[in-house]
């Protein structure tokens, strides 16, 4: 146990809490590299989610999830609710930053081979968390019920129709008593957070079971590191919260300078906006293959990513020993980035039938 976490060095209250809360349970050893920024990205994302939960709870007190009133209730949040505009903007910017840190976390795991045995299942759980995050960003953007939100919903409804029964939840006929916007809100504040909670608990449990993946060196092989290391999880936790506070200050600063956008009320059937940056890469694919691209391309990408531990089964972690795979991953990533840049520069075109 590291010296900084011993109860006898803490204040009386600290010692009392240490014993009562069983904090010795989080004082386990971790490798030193676990405290470096690339290995704390997952933790930063988690702190970002906590900010999203708190700001989301505040916003839900004033948001009316009904097509008649949804858009006006957002205008009310911006103009009439104490701190409403600021809280909504922090919610918006934190969602953007969290998506970025989550993607960077995934790239770090990919680059350092942290998906290899015995961490294959945790890699898939992580992909589930990515899907939930994107789902939350998507449903959140629909809730504004402005032109962009309505177009996103219409695209999703059409893509869902392609997968028949699997997409039934997104159809208007799923429920005759509750409008789809209300159900999307329900998904945003109950279903997705519940799935997130289950997945993140599994993710953290599996990290604890297997330990942080070993430091990458030319001959490093994948193995469990649980209980190994000359640092302490308490320090990892402090770094995580520290970077999380920086994330919060960045979101708050952005909120002051660039308040979260809100478009004009949506008009059904029109296409005059572009999606948020995390969905923009799909735009050119939709141009070529139509709305079906929205269902097929993400499904193919998910399968490809989920199959990674099956395809790359060598025990080596060093990128030098995994050149072929990383070059292919780099090409795919470059294709996504170019696709998003291309879409950002293109004029808006209609895709809906």
Partner 1 sequence: MNKRIFCSLILALSFSAFPFQPARAHGEPIIVVEPFVVPLGGQITVTGSEMEPGEVFLITLEGLAGSISLGEVTASGEGEEGGFVAQFTLALDITPGSYTLAATTEDGDSATTDLEITAASENASSAPAEMQEPTGEQHVLDRSKSSIEIIGAVLLIALSVAGGVLLIRSRD
The count of other CB atoms within 10 Å of the CB of residue 116 is: 23
Binding of partner 1 by 8 (CB under 8 A):
no
Binding of partner 1 by 266 (CB under 8 A):
yes
Select the span of 56-64, 135-143, 254-262, 338-346 touching partner 1 (CB under 8 A): 254-262
Residues 147-166 that bind partner 1 (CB under 8 A): 147-148, 161-164
- Closest to partner 1 by CB, 76 vs 342, is 76
Residues 14-43 that bind partner 1 (CB under 8 A): none
Residues 101-140 that bind partner 1 (CB under 8 A): none
CA dihedral 128, 43, 220, 325 (to 10 degrees): 40
Binding of partner 1 by 244 (CB under 8 A):
yes
With beta carbons less than 8 A apart as the criterion, state whether 295 and 159 touch.
yes
- Closest to partner 1 by CB, 20 vs 176, is 176
- Residue from 13, 288, 311, 320 touching partner 1 (CB under 8 A): that is 311
With beta carbons less than 8 A apart as the criterion, state whether 23 and 15 touch.
no
- Give the separation between CA 31 and CA 37, rounded to whole angstroms: 13
- Closest to partner 1 by CB, 180 vs 199, is 180
Smallest gap from residue 313 Cβ to partner 1 (A): 6
- Give the separation between CA 103 and CA 220, rounded to whole angstroms: 24
99-107 long-range contacts, CB within 8 A, separation 24+: 99/133, 99/134, 99/137, 99/278, 101/41, 101/44, 101/45, 101/48, 101/247, 102/41, 102/45, 102/129, 102/130, 102/133, 103/130, 104/41, 105/41, 105/42, 105/45, 106/130, 107/333
Binding of partner 1 by 146 (CB under 8 A):
yes
Binding of partner 1 by 178 (CB under 8 A):
yes
Count of residues in contact with partner 1, rule CB under 8 A? 72
Binding of partner 1 by 330 (CB under 8 A):
no
Binding of partner 1 by 287 (CB under 8 A):
no
Partner residues linked to 63 by β-bridges: none
Binding of partner 1 by 304 (CB under 8 A):
yes
Distance (Å) of CA 311 to CA 18, 218, 297? 45, 21, 20
- Closest to partner 1 by CB, 89 vs 199, is 89
Binding of partner 1 by 185 (CB under 8 A):
no
- Radius of gyration, alpha carbons of the chain: 22
* CA end-to-end span of the chain: 63
Binding of partner 1 by 3 (CB under 8 A):
yes
The residues, any chain, with a CB within 8 Å of residue 335's CB and separated by 6 or more, are: none
Binding of partner 1 by 199 (CB under 8 A):
no
Smallest gap from residue 259 Cβ to partner 1 (A): 5
Binding of partner 1 by 252 (CB under 8 A):
yes
Residues 57-96 that bind partner 1 (CB under 8 A): 66-68, 75, 78-79, 83, 85-86
Select the span of 126-134, 257-265, 329-337, 338-346 touching partner 1 (CB under 8 A): 257-265
Binding of partner 1 by 275 (CB under 8 A):
no
Binding of partner 1 by 284 (CB under 8 A):
no
CA dihedral 71, 267, 341, 44 (to 10 degrees): 20
């Amino acid at each position: 146990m590291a010296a900084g976490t011993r109860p006898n060095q803490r204040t009386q209250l600290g010692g009392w809490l240490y014993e009562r809360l069983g904090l010795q349970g989080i004082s386990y050893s971790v490798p030193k590299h676990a405290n470096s920024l690339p290995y704390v990205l997952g933790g930063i994302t988690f702190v970002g989610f906590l900010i999203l939960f708190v700001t989301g709870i505040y916003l839900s007190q004033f948001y009316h999830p009904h097509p008649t009133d949804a858009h006006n209730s957002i205008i009310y949040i911006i103009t009439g609710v104490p701190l409403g505009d600021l809280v909504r903007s922090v919610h918006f910017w934190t969602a953007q930053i969290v998506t970025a840190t989550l993607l960077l976390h995934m790239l770090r795991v990919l680059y350092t081979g942290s998906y290899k045995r015995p961490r294959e299942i945790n890699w898939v759980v992580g992909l589930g968390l990515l899907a939930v995050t994107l789902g939350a960003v998507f449903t959140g953007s629909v809730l504004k019920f402005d032109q962009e939100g309505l177009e996103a919903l219409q695209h999703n409804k059409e893509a869902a129709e392609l997968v028949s029964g699997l997409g039934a939840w997104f159809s208007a006929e799923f429920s005759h008593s509750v409008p789809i916007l209300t159900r999307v809100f329900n998904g945003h504040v109950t279903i997705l957070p519940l799935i997130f909670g289950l997945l993140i608990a599994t993710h953290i449990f599996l990290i604890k079971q297997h330990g942080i993946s070993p430091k990458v060196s030319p001959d490093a092989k994948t193995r469990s590191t649980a209980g190994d290391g000359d640092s302490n999880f308490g320090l990892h936790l402090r770094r995580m919260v520290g970077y999380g506070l920086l994330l919060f200050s960045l979101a708050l600063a952005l909120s002051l300078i660039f308040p979260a956008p809100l478009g004009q009320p949506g008009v059904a059937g029109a296409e005059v906006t572009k999606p948020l940056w995390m969905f923009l890469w799909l735009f050119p694919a939709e141009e070529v293959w139509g709305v079906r691209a929205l269902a097929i391309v993400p499904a193919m990408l998910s399968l490809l990513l989920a199959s990674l531990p099956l395809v790359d089964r060598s025990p080596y972690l060093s990128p030098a020993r995994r050149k072929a795979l990383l070059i292919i991953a780099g090409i795919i990533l470059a294709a996504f980035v170019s696709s998003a840049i291309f879409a950002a520069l293109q004029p808006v075109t209609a895709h809906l039938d």
